[in-house]
Homo-oligomer: A and B are copies of this chain.
Amino acid sequence: MTNAFHPPVRTLMGPGPSDVSPRVLAALARPTIGHLDPEFIRMMDEIKGMLQYAFRTDSELTMPVSAPGSAGMEACFVNLVEPGDKVIVCQNGVFGGRMKENVERFGGVAIMVEDEWGKPVDPEKVKAAFEEHSDVKILAFVHAETSTGVMSDAKALCQIAQDNDALTIVDTVTSLGGSELDVAGWGIDAVYSGTQKCLSCPPGISPISFSKKAVAVVEQRQSKTPSWFLDQKLVMGYWGGGAKRAYHHTAPVNSLYAFHEALLMLEEEGLENAWARHQYHHNALRAGLEAMGIGFLVEEAYRLPQLNSVMIPDGVDEAEVRSRLLQDYNLEIGAGLGALAGKVWRIGLMGAACNKKNVLLCLSALENTLASMGADINTGKAIQAAEQVYAA
């Protein structure tokens, strides 16, 4: 007979999921009701309103996809890309590569604009790609690259797309709620995100929003969307508002309770305050890491406060460090992905996990673990450096 599963209580400072607030966990466990219950439908409307606030848009097609961020990405591409469509895809980490897969699997032509992992997308290269290729339908890029910790200039990239009459698909999985994002102001046409990063909800649903222009493109598709589950024309019969909701699929009721509570916490804090909090604790963490002698992968101007890619000290068995942090401190930090595997750790400061307690725990645990393994770091200075930032 199997035993009940009681997870250890971890501190989640990897690339997500992040620590989930007890308020959100409590919401998750509220009694399940029907997905067509009038009370549930009322809650869906509240989610939509709060999500519009978080994304900064008043678009009607703003809703959570009933599946993780990868499905949110797919919802954008599968609805907007038709066979033969040209899509400029910017790749400067793992997730640009996944966008390319999406374009190609739906019959589109991906025009790749590549930048080094750890560098932002270069707007000049994007301009050049538009000059080289005519009839580009979509520009797709990642706002905050979770695999590298780099921020690209979404506003400037969207402007280039608009100058070339192209739509934009923007990955904001790691930026939503953590860094400035202005979906309507920047003119983003299709945006997707995740719940398990700076919104500090358990993973499993993916908020998306489509502009009016994007909705019109979906409505004028020549071919049937090659997905029933993610066909936004069908999904909007359920999420589209009004008292009469058509059954499409069974919504993940309890996950949406949690998402409602997480959005409520963001509303209470205020979007700008949440952005400022991420920057504030990042500054303290950075001061501590630098005092230890640990550097960053990303140039300061492009660093994500919520995802810190830091260089692994020479000669250290990085997997052993992560394993000890987990065993000795119940602390999770992330490994490098793809080209950065073995070169960086990814230290997250996301949502509810972005607080002073976690910054101090991470600095202490990392310093102690590295020192015990004989790594070449400065000891005894990190906490003080962080505290100086907090005292300033």
Q: Taking each of A4, A102, A250, which has the highest tally of chain B beta carbons within 10 Å of its own beta carbon?
A: A250
Q: Which residues of B contact A14 (CB under 8 A)?
A: 34
Looking at A67-75, A126-134, A276-284, A299-307, the stretch in contact with chain B turns out to be A67-75
Q: A34-B10, A39-B7, A264-B2 are in contact. Are A252 and B203 (CB under 8 A)?
A: yes
Q: A12-B32, A20-B32, A228-B74 are in contact. Are A204 and B254 (CB under 8 A)?
A: yes
Contact A2 B49 (CB under 8 A): yes
Per-position contact with B for A21-59: 1 when CB-CB < 8 Å, else 0? 000011111111111011110010010011000000000
- Contact for A260 among B5, B254, B332, CB less than 8 A: B5
Is there a chain B Cβ closer than 8 Å to A243's Cβ?
Answer: no
Is there a chain B Cβ closer than 8 Å to A8's Cβ?
Answer: yes
Q: Which residues of B contact A252 (CB under 8 A)?
A: 68, 202-204, 255
Contact A254 B2 (CB under 8 A): no
Per-position contact with B for A195-206: 1 when CB-CB < 8 Å, else 0? 010000011100
Is there a chain B Cβ closer than 8 Å to A227's Cβ?
Answer: yes
Is there a chain B Cβ closer than 8 Å to A1's Cβ?
Answer: yes
Q: A249-B69, A250-B69, A332-B37 are in contact. Are A101 and B257 (CB under 8 A)?
A: no
Per-position contact with B for A212-250: 1 when CB-CB < 8 Å, else 0? 000000000000111111000000000000000001111
A387 to B327, CA, bound (A): 56
What range describes how many residues of A lie at the interface? 35 or more
Is there a chain B Cβ closer than 8 Å to A178's Cβ?
Answer: no
**Chain B: minimal CB distance from A263 (Å):** 8
Contact A254 B28 (CB under 8 A): yes
Q: Which residues of B contact A225 (CB under 8 A)?
A: 105
Contact B253 A202 (CB under 8 A): yes
Is there a chain B Cβ closer than 8 Å to A114's Cβ?
Answer: no
Q: Taking each of A26, A67, A98, A261, which has the highest tally of chain B beta carbons within 10 Å of its own beta carbon?
A: A67
Contact A5 B254 (CB under 8 A): no
Q: A67-B71, A228-B105, A252-B203 are in contact. Are A332 and B34 (CB under 8 A)?
A: yes
Is there a chain B Cβ closer than 8 Å to A163's Cβ?
Answer: no
Is there a chain B Cβ closer than 8 Å to A111's Cβ?
Answer: no
A residues neighboring B (CB under 8 Å): 1-10, 12, 14, 16-17, 19-20, 25-35, 37-40, 43, 46, 49-50, 66-71, 73-74, 78, 98, 101-102, 104-106, 194, 196, 202-204, 224-229, 247-255, 257-258, 260-261, 263-264, 267-268, 326, 332, 337
* Extra inter-chain contacts (7) besides given A7-B39, A203-B250, A255-B255, CB under 8 Å: A8-B39, A14-B34, A17-B35, A20-B32, A28-B29, A74-B228, A196-B250
